[in-house]
Chains A and B, each alone.
Chain A
Amino acid sequence: MSLIYQIPRPALWWLLLAQGAVILPLMQYLPLWLIAVWAVCVGWRIQVVRGVFDAPKVMVKVPLALTMVVALVLSYGKLFALEPLVALLLLAFLLKLLELQSQRDVLLLLLLGFFVASTQLLFSTSIIAFLYAIISFTFLMAAFMALHTATATHSFWHSLKTSSVITLQAIPLALVLFFIMPRIGSLWTVPLSDGNAKTGFSDSMEPGNISQLSKDYSPAFRVDFTDKKAPVQSSLYWRGLSLSSFDGRRWELPFQDRDDNMRYRRIAQEQRKHNYGWQVEFASYRRKDNSPYIDYQVMMEASFQPWLFALTTASVGAKDVLSTPDYLFLSKRPVSQRFLYQARSYPEFKRQGQSLGPSERYQNTLLPSGSNPRATALAQQWREAGDSDRRVIANAMRLFQREFAYSLQDTLLSELNPVDDFLFSRKRGYCEHFASAFVVLMRAADIPARVVLGYQGGQWNEEEKYLLVSQADAHAWAEVWLPEQGWTRVDPTSAVAPERIELGFRDYIQQSSTANEQNGFAELRQSPLLMQLQMQLDAINYSWQSWVLSYDQDQQMIFFQKVLGGQEHWRIVAVLMGASTFMLALLALWLWWRARPEAPAAELVPWLELEKKLAAGGWIREPGETPQQFSSRVSRQRPDLEVLLERYTKMAYTLLYIPIGSDQHQQLLKDLAGLRNSIRL
């Protein structure tokens, strides 16, 4: 092989560095043994370069590659999903290291590297991932530079310097393309392998599964209120789904609603025939002028669940989203990527003179027979005392308030009759326990009731004016049917720990005196500095999402309309050409500026002026001629000028030895100008 095709060492080191940079973020999502594969490949490659090992033979390479693919399939159980396919790509990227022979192979590997580095953006689109991708690209470019400047004697870091400059130069172009390139919606969606990808709560509730979320500060969604004012915490009940089926321990959706697709299709079909009664009423309520409402925009993180979140009695504007009979929202497909929707809530909307259908009443008062007997007995006792529905509710709330504690400890209740266990022996628990026990009590007293899952509160970001709702804000509460009011929210947690509702979960942990070591909240406390840092980071991410990631076709059209005054193609082309002309002009200006002729030294100017004047008369100084020689040459032909020229030359020489700016200097300049003017050719 010719020497010039060999891989220069700096290029190889840069390649390995870039490879490391590309692999690193992917390790969050892919099996860790790929690191080991990489280490082996790097080790082998380095030994080959040092001349210790031979390059692997085909007999080694082929079985190795096959084994790796099989290992991949085994560790995922399938091949055709996003993660295994990215892992396969990465594997190819790593194993190719063993095959490097010529510069061409390195080139191929580097190009593959750009592709692999982009795949991390399939998993995360945060600004950090984006910046990291740019850094990876810079490293890959550095390897390119090292490959192509192998003959130059630069230092090792020179490549990185050059590639950084190239990256910086690319930024204006990237910006122009970002704003102007047509935004094509995703042509296909790649399903992430499901399973642990689901975040937040599931579609059922049993003791322990909400309190688990209390440690999870990852964002659930962010809300941008149109009036940009901090809302009242205690009013922020973000309803997600209502559970009305109970088996003695676990709350679930009614049996017929458990398949999301079926449910969606059924509701869609029903709504095609007729609107629900509440919808008709709601529509006319909305048309009234004086109905108070709140406008907001929710940017929801991927939850891989079909339900959306909104404040009470909302209308949501989004495609393929249905309102369900229980005032909730169901999306046609699970929210598998960040999802932005507008919503308007009418908190004071109440239905007039409504009634609960028999099947609904049955569904919402059903308790499994024989379970939780003591709780049932207690409620029936209240009922038999002749109390009204409201008195029964008040009884239950008073019971919680007096004898119960809000706590994260001891959340797993006994398998049998967990509500009895909670009500009569443990007497402490988290929101799901209170909600569950409350609804059981209500149902035992023959009041229709259901559990609602969602989020309560959220953290207001004062700088960016938005509300961050994280998984830790997950909450469960109850809704009871009151004949004159319809479904009414009752939050038993507010009786036990009113501060939780008034402050929001995070501030409750941080500030409240009732949150202490014994109930397990204090250990969740963070240092205020860390919290502030998290808030700031979240604000950056939010800006990133709302300004960059949500720039879609509609936004682009708005942008064109605003900035260009229209959406016609010629405007876009004109801007593109204008922008490029502007940049090239800047570049040209800079190049000209760099190569501009240097101004002659000030002390030479008088002499150059004279030369110019004599040149007009046909006398041109030879390069090697000194002023004296030149002036005497001229004098020979024009004896009349001899005296003048001799004086002038002498004075011009004197000028060289006089400090610039001195009085003498000024005087000389004046004299020289006078002399020059008196020369008549």
Chain B
Amino acid sequence: MSHLVLQQSIAQLGKVVLGKEPQIKLAMACLLAKGHLLIEDLPGMGKTTLAHALAAVLGLQYQRVQFTSDMLPADLLGISVFDAQNSKFDFHPGPIFTQLMLADEINRSTPKTQSALLEAMEEGQVSIEGETRPLPQPFFVLATQNPVHQSGTFPLPESQLDRFLMRISLGYPSAAAERMLLKGINPRSLLKNLQSTMSLQQLADLQDQAQAIHASDHVLDYVQRLIQFSREYEGFSYGISPRGALALISAAKAWALIEGREHLIPEDVQAVMPAVMEHRLRASSHGAAAEALVDIVLNAVDVIQG
């Protein structure tokens, strides 16, 4: 049953975001694992479309914030305004009070604003003017960023990157998908026709199911070998943290759920590994791409036994 819902959702998303099924599945897995998603790509690759489509299919409230370099935390979180009539302060919630927030071009804003997102992402609540306000449930942040080397960007620090469960990139569309675009069929126009495939309750159930996926000792051994290798390998400046390891397991579980299984197999771990680990590893000598780093780990660690 749950599998069917998920298949429907992915099919719906596939109609809007053409030829990107792996990324769609990863995005779904990220949401099922209650994680936040970072999409890194060049402008015009369909990041916003994906975010919009996700919100529509899951039936979530949606807000989009365009991050700019002159943006302040109050622009994101909200502000108290003095109401002269009632002679008291009224709180005007910012765009963050939503269920799915698209933080567009997050690395264009200053670190100050970026860090305003921190508490919200980790705790599901914000503190404004000494008052802690809970955010709606569920709360997802879907951030997009341009490649770091582009001008006018403030790279996200490691601590903040760590708060994103996954980082994916969409990449150029396939030739067939591009032909459709060129033919004038704009997928965005399909957005308003998208039906939400599940209720909030169903989403919460799915998240619980993802948590409950069985992981055998064999798979946990494999994950631990991967983590251990990342810590010992001298090509990395630091290894994967326990939070990273937890992220890997929960993402893999969500992936297994999407694949229609109730148990974890090493393939699940391998499938989510690049998305989960890419932004958590750094080579000790500059120049090597993060993708290559994950491949080093995957190729070096034996799946079956240590």
Who on chain B is nearest to A603 by CB?
Answer: B218
Listed stretches B16-24, B165-173, B296-304; interface member: B296-304
Judged by a CB distance under 8 angstroms, whether B270 is at the interface is yes
Pairwise interchain contact A628-B267, C-beta atoms closer than 8 A:
yes
Pairwise interchain contact B300-A626, C-beta atoms closer than 8 A:
no
Pairwise interchain contact A623-B301, C-beta atoms closer than 8 A:
yes
Pairwise interchain contact B303-A657, C-beta atoms closer than 8 A:
no
Pairwise interchain contact A653-B299, C-beta atoms closer than 8 A:
no
Contacts of A607 in B (CB 8 A): 304
Pairwise interchain contact A624-B304, C-beta atoms closer than 8 A:
no
| Nearest CB in chain B: distance from A303 CB, A | 73
| Nearest CB in chain B: distance from A604 CB, A | 6
Judged by a CB distance under 8 angstroms, whether A600 is at the interface is yes
Judged by a CB distance under 8 angstroms, whether A526 is at the interface is no
| Nearest CB in chain B: distance from A244 CB, A | 93
From known contacts A629-B267, A653-B265, A657-B263, infer whether A624 and B303 are also in contact, taking CB-CB under 8 Å: yes
Pairwise interchain contact A656-B303, C-beta atoms closer than 8 A:
no
CA distance A621 to B263 in the complex (A): 23
Contacts of A604 in B (CB 8 A): 218, 304-305
Beyond A626-B265, A628-B267: 14 further Cβ-contacts under 8 Å?
A: A601-B217, A601-B305, A604-B218, A604-B304, A611-B304, A621-B303, A624-B270, A624-B301, A624-B303, A626-B270, A653-B265, A656-B265, A657-B216, A657-B263
Contacts of A627 in B (CB 8 A): 266, 303-304
Pairwise interchain contact A623-B267, C-beta atoms closer than 8 A:
no
Show 18 A/B contacts (Cβ-Cβ < 8 Å), sorted by A. A600-B305, A601-B217, A601-B305, A604-B304, A607-B304, A608-B304, A621-B303, A623-B299, A623-B300, A623-B303, A624-B270, A624-B301, A624-B303, A626-B270, A627-B266, A627-B304, A628-B267, A656-B216
Judged by a CB distance under 8 angstroms, whether B37 is at the interface is no
Judged by a CB distance under 8 angstroms, whether A622 is at the interface is yes
Judged by a CB distance under 8 angstroms, whether B15 is at the interface is no
Taken residue by residue from 630 to 662, chain A's Cβ proximity to chain B (1 for < 8 Å, 0 otherwise) reads as 000000000000000000000001001100000
Contacts of B303 in A (CB 8 A): 621, 623-627
| Nearest CB in chain B: distance from A599 CB, A | 10
| Nearest CB in chain A: distance from B292 CB, A | 13
Judged by a CB distance under 8 angstroms, whether B214 is at the interface is yes
Contacts of A628 in B (CB 8 A): 265, 267
CA distance A2 to B175 in the complex (A): 73
Pairwise interchain contact A622-B299, C-beta atoms closer than 8 A:
yes
Which residues of chain B from 260 to 306 have a CB within 8 Å of any chain A CB?
263, 265-267, 270, 298-305
CA distance A305 to B55 in the complex (A): 111
Pairwise interchain contact B300-A656, C-beta atoms closer than 8 A:
no
Contacts of A657 in B (CB 8 A): 214, 216, 263
Judged by a CB distance under 8 angstroms, whether B219 is at the interface is yes
CA distance A608 to B303 in the complex (A): 12
| Nearest CB in chain B: distance from A237 CB, A | 82
Contacts of B267 in A (CB 8 A): 626, 628-629
CA distance A607 to B300 in the complex (A): 20
Pairwise interchain contact B298-A624, C-beta atoms closer than 8 A:
yes
Pairwise interchain contact A624-B300, C-beta atoms closer than 8 A:
yes
Contacts of B301 in A (CB 8 A): 623-624
* Total residues of chain B contacting the partner, CB 8 A: 18
| Nearest CB in chain A: distance from B228 CB, A | 14
Which residues of chain A from 14 to 44 have a CB within 8 Å of any chain B CB?
none
Contacts of B217 in A (CB 8 A): 601
| Nearest CB in chain B: distance from A81 CB, A | 67
Closest 8 CB pairs of A and B: A624-B299, A623-B302, A656-B216, A624-B298, A626-B266, A626-B267, A657-B263, A626-B303
Taken residue by residue from 201 to 222, chain B's Cβ proximity to chain A (1 for < 8 Å, 0 otherwise) reads as 0000000000000101111000
| Nearest CB in chain A: distance from B274 CB, A | 12
Pairwise interchain contact A656-B304, C-beta atoms closer than 8 A:
no
**Chain A residues in contact with chain B, CB under 8 A?**
600-601, 603-604, 607-608, 611, 621-629, 653, 656-657
CA distance A611 to B301 in the complex (A): 17
CA distance A601 to B220 in the complex (A): 13
Who on chain A is nearest to B305 by CB?
Answer: A600
CA distance A626 to B300 in the complex (A): 12
Which of B217, B265, B270 is packed against the most chain A CB atoms within 10 Å?
A: B265
Who on chain B is nearest to A623 by CB?
Answer: B302
| Nearest CB in chain A: distance from B93 CB, A | 46
Pairwise interchain contact A656-B218, C-beta atoms closer than 8 A:
yes
| Nearest CB in chain A: distance from B223 CB, A | 13
| Nearest CB in chain B: distance from A304 CB, A | 72
CA distance A628 to B266 in the complex (A): 9
From known contacts A626-B267, A626-B270, A629-B267, infer whether A656 and B302 are also in contact, taking CB-CB under 8 Å: no
Who on chain A is nearest to B303 by CB?
Answer: A626
Who on chain A is nearest to B299 by CB?
Answer: A624
Taken residue by residue from 163 to 203, chain B's Cβ proximity to chain A (1 for < 8 Å, 0 otherwise) reads as 00000000000000000000000000000000000000000
| Nearest CB in chain A: distance from B74 CB, A | 48
Contacts of A603 in B (CB 8 A): 216, 218
Who on chain A is nearest to B261 by CB?
Answer: A653
Contacts of B216 in A (CB 8 A): 603, 656-657
CA distance A624 to B301 in the complex (A): 6
CA distance A661 to B211 in the complex (A): 27
| Nearest CB in chain A: distance from B248 CB, A | 15
| Nearest CB in chain A: distance from B302 CB, A | 4
| Nearest CB in chain A: distance from B293 CB, A | 13
CA distance A608 to B263 in the complex (A): 21
CA distance A653 to B265 in the complex (A): 7
CA distance A295 to B270 in the complex (A): 89
| Nearest CB in chain A: distance from B265 CB, A | 5
CA distance A604 to B305 in the complex (A): 8
CA distance A627 to B302 in the complex (A): 11
CA distance A271 to B301 in the complex (A): 95
Contacts of A611 in B (CB 8 A): 304
CA distance A38 to B305 in the complex (A): 62
Q: Give the contacting residue for B219; candidates A608, A622, A656; CB below 8 A.
A: A656
CA distance A327 to B266 in the complex (A): 98
Contacts of B265 in A (CB 8 A): 626, 628, 653, 656
Which of A621, A628, A656 is packed against the most chain B CB atoms within 10 Å?
A: A656
CA distance A656 to B264 in the complex (A): 10
Contacts of B299 in A (CB 8 A): 622-624
CA distance A630 to B20 in the complex (A): 25
Which of B266, B301, B302 is packed against the most chain A CB atoms within 10 Å?
A: B266
Contacts of A601 in B (CB 8 A): 217-218, 305
CA distance A601 to B216 in the complex (A): 12
Contacts of B218 in A (CB 8 A): 601, 603-604, 656
| Nearest CB in chain B: distance from A323 CB, A | 83
| Nearest CB in chain B: distance from A499 CB, A | 81
CA distance A603 to B222 in the complex (A): 14
Contacts of A623 in B (CB 8 A): 299-303
CA distance A656 to B266 in the complex (A): 11
Contacts of A608 in B (CB 8 A): 304-305
CA distance A622 to B299 in the complex (A): 7
CA distance A656 to B221 in the complex (A): 12
Contacts of B305 in A (CB 8 A): 600-601, 604, 608
CA distance A621 to B250 in the complex (A): 27
Who on chain B is nearest to A600 by CB?
Answer: B305
CA distance A621 to B214 in the complex (A): 26
Who on chain A is nearest to B219 by CB?
Answer: A656
| Nearest CB in chain B: distance from A300 CB, A | 69
CA distance A657 to B270 in the complex (A): 19
CA distance A553 to B300 in the complex (A): 66
Who on chain B is nearest to A622 by CB?
Answer: B299
Contacts of A626 in B (CB 8 A): 265-267, 270, 303
Contacts of A624 in B (CB 8 A): 270, 298-303
CA distance A603 to B219 in the complex (A): 12
Who on chain A is nearest to B221 by CB?
Answer: A601
| Nearest CB in chain B: distance from A187 CB, A | 62
| Nearest CB in chain A: distance from B136 CB, A | 37
Who on chain A is nearest to B265 by CB?
Answer: A653
Who on chain A is nearest to B297 by CB?
Answer: A624
